[in-house]
Amino acid sequence: MRALVTGCAGFIGSHLTEALLDGGHSVVGIDCFNDNYGREQKLTNLRHVREWTDFEFVPIDLSRGELLSFVRDADVVFHLAAEPGVRSSWGRRYERYVQNNILATQQLLEACREAPGVRMVFASSSSVYGDAGPASVCEESPTWPISPYGQTKLGAEHLCALYRRELGLDVVCLRYFTVFGPRQRPDMAFHRFLRAAVGGEPITILGDGRQTRDFTYVGDVVAATIAAGVAPGLEEPVLNIGGGAPTSLVSVLGIVEELLERPLAIRHAERGHGEVRDTHANTARAQRALGFSPQTGLELGLAAELEWIVSLLAGDRERAAA
């Protein structure tokens, strides 16, 4: 398979790129290094894949660049590039979300329109459901985003559905539920919690800590994403990808205490605007269509991310001492 991966230097995109190369596929990776977090971490994410002869990196802005030649050379387009984050989507930065989540997706769909036979897998988000409550949501559940970020991801989904229905494009949308693991973005909860815990600093929880998330390990998300790229005759255009065991933040911190073998200092702050109370994915459709079944539980995945955080902090100390 010849794959085009957008957002290849990001958290999930870099793992996906590595997995594709490990599987014997060739990859063209696109990333514009937007400033939502440090360029250095993104470059580090690409460190291993740059050693592969079957990997080509192209620094380009999807919303402005010429994409047709890259799409025509691909069998599958994995569209993971996005402007992420709920809290930062309010205010003046919203324009970035429109550009990088909606306009970039439309530009890529237009390129796919001129490349018959190419499948596009779009990385969407559980944020499209909004505050759906603790019950599991299926793909037909109402979509009422409560953040500008969720609204732009849903808008991009609507574009995918439009191009699929009206122009016959082969497009599938995957709604990821709270992905975690090594290389997680610095603004995400587990990254913040583990960095503070390892450094002996207080951990700040937004809200009472009883809110639940359907945490999904990055390796399971990557497996589902690749399956969506190669599965023949996909009839379902939208699929939930979740870990299957919603867990409260308080319980997560209990696991961290067990991993570190010491108590944590925890403080609380006001819940942010747009933060949903609970998420819980019904993944029956993905199980049928993709054979999706999460393989990495929360404790094992947290241990892997903790090991990565420890190595990050060790690197920070070495650079500071140099």
Domain at 134, CATH number: 3.40.50.720
- Is pLDDT at 319 greater than 80 in this prediction? no
In a domain, 20, yes or no: yes
* pLDDT tens digits for range 127-156: 999 999 888 999 999 999 999 999 999 999
* pLDDT tens digits for range 168-209: 999 999 999 999 999 999 999 999 999 999 999 999 998 999
* pLDDT tens digits for range 80-129: 999 999 999 999 999 999 999 999 999 999 999 999 999 999 999 999 99
Are the C-beta atoms of residues 228 and 234 closer than 8 Å to each other?
yes
Other CB atoms within 10 A of residue 128 CB: 26
At 318, list the tokens: 């070495």
Are the C-beta atoms of residues 202 and 191 closer than 8 Å to each other?
no
Best CA proximity match to 153, nearest among 124, 188, 121: 124
Q: How confident is the model at residue 260 (pLDDT cuts 50, 70, 90)?
A: very high
In a domain, 193, yes or no: no
In a domain, 315, yes or no: no
- Is pLDDT at 274 greater than 80 in this prediction? yes
Number of domains in the chain: 1
User: Which pLDDT does position 134 carry in this prediction?
Assistant: 85
Are the C-beta atoms of residues 306 and 256 closer than 8 Å to each other?
yes
User: Which pLDDT does position 272 carry in this prediction?
Assistant: 80
DSSP 6-23: ETTTSHHHHHHHHHHHHT
Q: 113 vs 65, 69, 105, 107, 116, CA distance in Å? A: 16, 12, 12, 10, 7
In a domain, 16, yes or no: yes
Residues spanned by the domain of 168 = 2-184+215-242+274-295
In a domain, 162, yes or no: yes
Any residues with CB less than 8 A from the CB of 308 and at least 6 apart, and which? Answer: 181, 182, 183
Q: What beta strand segments (E) does the chain contain?
A: 2-6, 26-31, 55-59, 76-79, 119-125, 170-176, 179-180, 203-206, 212-213, 216-217, 238-241, 247-248, 266-269
Residues carrying an active site annotation: 149
In a domain, 86, yes or no: yes
In a domain, 116, yes or no: yes
Are the C-beta atoms of residues 21 and 49 closer than 8 Å to each other?
yes
User: Which pLDDT does position 65 carry in this prediction?
Assistant: 85
In a domain, 291, yes or no: yes
> 27: which strand partners?
3, 55
